[in-house]
Structure 1
């Protein structure tokens, strides 16, 4: 009774708070860094690889899709194909009654297999139009340039953008950014813009009690997607500044699509 209680053991101090999403300034840096991406070996597409990655960043930010949904890196992944994109106002899904002036976008989640028809906003439509070929093959995949390991190319892109690695909240150790962090970024900004909208947009299998009893999930996602504030870099295509810095109009040195293999190190 007369002895003092034992004090708890000292714990190492954490100097970092831990962050698992990208800020909008970092997304802008990634977007502009795609102009510096080198052409992969065996690249024969008429469109530069950086343009595919800019469109992919826009899709990741607005829909939080899985990496396999964009590039189909494994045999069981179903990549996005051109027949999954509708440019009309009416949704191909008869259950969705709201018309969208920019078209509709279809994808299937890798983990749950759940399918979605999502409205496109102006930013998504313009970037998909920028990579649309003159002769569209319905079964051809929309995105190219991911390779067998798209996370490795994403790390190279982060280095080009000057984005430092993220830190672990427990140990403070540095870890490289991966494409899944763009899904967390999407959830962060949707919940900040429209609370509880990320549960429906990201296609989670279960939500909170309030959300599970909310009957109007599709209108919630529809309103959130069409009104989500976009990073400033995403607006360069709409303003006619593609390939130029929006502040100083300096042209980016983008690698031509059909350079000789000997010129690429």
Structure 2
């Protein structure tokens, strides 16, 4: 394993994996606690619209997709304020329209799009220095927001009515969580792609929920687990010449299955 670190692309992949593991652990905890997994799924698949825009107009993929997903998040948040009964319809529409829009733009883009499959299933070994700078910026932004608003977001996550009575702007923090989750989804595209991104956001949190009793410990445990799964997935990917994204997800899924079986036997 140590000899792999001599390659620059492995170094970039390892650094990116660690950064993304921390971000997805923090945001994924909020996503699971607030029961936003389906919402995040809608944002993840609609992100293909941002990828299509980046391809067609020659824009930076991460920046274009981030802006597109933020707009989708705000749209879903506004829709959920006004009419929660039809929220699932709204998510389904953004999911389908976003992907369709992105695919059409990709088809209209001249030339062969070699990176198209990597957006769907991830390509951690293709991370560039520019990607690392963006990921590092997002990591600092995410940690800063969580530190400053931790108590408010915690109150909103567990009891919206109580938080509202305390004068906390619940709609603002609900939207903020959605925006942060959309940004986490965008950078996770580099690791596991659009298809598997929800697994990256939820599996480590699911495992840590068996052992942790509060939100902070769940974040820390999930981050450590994600780092381990990422390193293991990278090793499997390199050794067997398979995709890094599915390797990470399969590793984490098998571990989650073992934990579930052990816990079930103990009960």
Larger Rg over CA atoms: 1
Higher helix share: 2
Assess same fold via TM > 0.5.
Answer: no
- Counting strand residues as a fraction of each chain, which structure ranks higher? 1
Q: Normalised by the shorter chain, which TM-score bucket? A: under 0.3
Q: How does the TM-score come out when normalised to structure 1?
A: 0.27
